[in-house]
Structure 1
């Protein structure tokens, strides 16, 4: 008896949920950066050294997962339009928010950063600061480096996503069908234990590059990050519609968790043993930790994709609302956190209360921004939303006079 053809996959609600939850995790992560020992734009005067191992619970895998899901979302777009239309759609969605952020959303972050960190004179009058920010004439320096403006801060993710989307358009234009066929080949190869082992080994090789090319988040000097992020972006594009691989992630979800949790324990201990600012570990230990990092990375991604496909596969009004809201959230969240964190610190609140207030302010500001933006058609493209179509005007039907005959 011939088998039935696999149903066409037009949408993956589980991937939408994963994207939303990963971005929400990122918001909390950036609140943690305000207290952690690593460098950030503004810092709490009461540093929490123990925050570093906590932040490492998601740091190795969260952004890779987001690039993977972004690649999958691009696949669903690409299969419904031409390469030219896809390119136009990605430019329309990503360029205006990137420009708006650099000109409007990021400058307040930079303003408070130079107030807290610069050792050179700082203009506290914001319009004067902003003119120097735009012209790149601020000369705001710390002991060892100076700040280049204009800058994009957290919008590096959007700029990279734009570059990868354009790169994918080139690949589709040159070898679209062969590229899609590579997804079928991946599906055939990543069966059974290979789904756990082969991508993990690939990540081990990629993560070794960080020993030579540390992450900078600058477009032209971030080789390891580009190789890793574009690879997982392309991987997401190739596997987006594969039901066998979706089912494979479901089957291996507990194994992924079993790989990620002990790997995280080792990463957390390493972060405690070699804290930020201390002499680095010997090269051999750092190389071994890249393998552990890859284990946490791939194990967490397998677990997220598997548990998401198993338990987050239902659509609904809440998901549709959050899917639209998540990009505006990403645009504004860090500015809200930086401004609120800097101004909360002088109040001397208990640290736990201050952190809770900072989380609430950040999320409340994100929701308020989205509720305003989604109602104002002019603002929507600057926050990554499509313009609303104008309402269709219908002429009222006049009741026919009883004394006039109907027109034929």
Structure 2
């Protein structure tokens, strides 16, 4: 079955991972960096954190939404067994590799930076996200296939009707509010290996699937009302900034998070849903870059932080080093070495003859 490629969703995944790198680099220059396992610069740049607090309520939930949407598109041309096989290869294998080789490597750099005894500790680290996604796939896929077989049923029709209303998507925030009231996270933006992160991710993944499943109504609504959502998000952010020192009650942050995300979906649908050579490259690179970026960041911290550069120059240099190293490793190793590709979630390399035969078969 041929499916329409949604370039805007690809772009949002790329941009979210790019923002993730910048967010993690900014943590290095915060006085509490070591408390969350990051190498810490001796010179802080706390002014960097204000814009990061704008990002931290929606950057990870956005990726969960997009992952749920991606599963919908994957199901268009795969049966149950094929889907689980494909998701196992794409998610579980990179997760295992990362837990055994990638995350322990950047922890060894951390030990070296602080002159600690070197030790090898397998752990998921920043790849906790992949573990969550794999669990969601296992848990929700049977329900999703049931829904796919009943596209003409009452549920989809009711969902499509709800999505026509500008407040339809926001109504679903009640589930995210309920999550915060039940789980009671101390800090809303701490998602890694927490029950809050798990259940918030589950909801975002589930509704990401449903938004695409509902049809064009959701996309037309968020495109038409994007400035309403973004305006609400800005108001809630200002309240959070002025009254709560960036950490407002979790139920308000849940609403703010979804307002940002729906506004971003609307902007993406209107402006980014078109192919480009840059997107073709970056969408392939994004996943491997996500997997290796903490290694590049810690290696750059080891080299750059001890220098005499001014703090902002160190931030700029570390940002450049992290991006260049990540894309260099992707371009000259992961992308080109056949056996590495599946270990980082890429499809096996197809030679020119095989590519020609595939094109002729199509």
Could you give the per-residue CA deviations for residues 272-309 of structure 1, whole angstroms, max 9, x where no partner exists? Answer: 487xxxxxxxxxxx6xx223212320110111000000
Which residue in the other structure is 2:143 paired with? Answer: 171
- Give the deviation of 1:178 after TM superposition: 4.6
Matched, 1:362 2:334: no
The whole-number CA distance in structure 1 between the counterparts of 2:299 and 2:152 is: 45
Equivalent position of 2:238 in the other structure: 265
State the Cα deviation string for residues 201-246 of structure 1 (Å, max 9, x = none).
332222333425764623xxx3222221111111111222521110
Cα offsets for 1:380-402 (capped at 9, x unmatched): 01111010234438xxxxxxxxx
- Of 225-234 and 206-215, more deviation after overlay is shown by 206-215
Distance 1:55 1:212, change over 3 A: closer
Say if 2:4 is the partner of 1:10.
yes
Cα distance, 1:322–1:216 mapped onto 2, change above 3 Å: closer
Counterpart position of 1:122: 116
How far the C-alpha of 1:85 sits from its partner, in A, is 0.2
**Matches of 2:218 and 2:246, distance apart in 1:** 38
Structure 2 match to 1:406:
none
TM-score by length of structure 2 reads 0.87
Please say if 1:253 is aligned against 2:226.
yes
Give the structure 2 partner of residue 35 of structure 1: 29
Moved over 6 A (4+): none
Work out the CA distance in 2 between the residues paired with 1:223 and 1:362.
30
CA distance in 2, matches of 1:233, 1:197: 16
Q: CA 1:375–1:271 in 2, change beyond 3 Å: closer, same or farther?
A: farther
Q: 1:90 & 1:326 partners in 2: Cα distance?
A: 17
1:151 equivalent among 109, 115, 123:
123
* Among candidates 381, 386, 402, match of residue 342 of structure 2: 381
Measure how far apart 1:184 and its partner are.
4.2
Q: Are residue 236 (structure 1) and residue 208 (structure 2) matched? A: yes
Q: Distance in 1 between matches of 2:47 and 2:253?
A: 19
In the alignment, what sits opposite 1:26? 20
Using the alignment, how far apart are the partners of 1:300 and 1:244 within structure 2? 19
Offset at residue 367 of structure 1 (A): 1.2
The 2-side partners of 1:192 and 1:62 are apart by 25
Gaps of 5+ in 2: 355-362
Aligned-residue RMSD, C-alpha:
2.5
Taking structure 1 as reference, are residues 385 and 271 closer, same or farther at Cα in structure 2, changes over 3 Å only? farther
1:336 deviates by 0.7
* 1:92 maps onto 2:89 in alignment: yes
Larger deviation, residues 322-331 vs 172-181? 172-181
What's the CA shift for 1:179?
8.2
Contact 1:250/1:306 (8 A) holds in 2: yes
**Bigger helix fraction:** 2
For these two proteins, the number of residue pairs brought into alignment is 346
Look up the SS of the partner of 2:149 in the other structure: helix
Secondary structure, in 3 states, of the residue corresponding to 1:43?
Answer: coil
Q: Work out which of the two has the higher radius of gyration on C-alpha atoms and give 1 or 2.
A: 1
8 A Cα contact 2:45 2:311, kept in partner: no
Q: Which runs of 5+ in 1 are unaligned?
A: 1-7, 124-128, 134-148, 275-285, 394-408
Give the TM-score normalised by structure 1.
0.78
Query: How big is the shift at 1:355?
Result: 0.5
CA contact (8 A) 1:183 1:239 kept: no
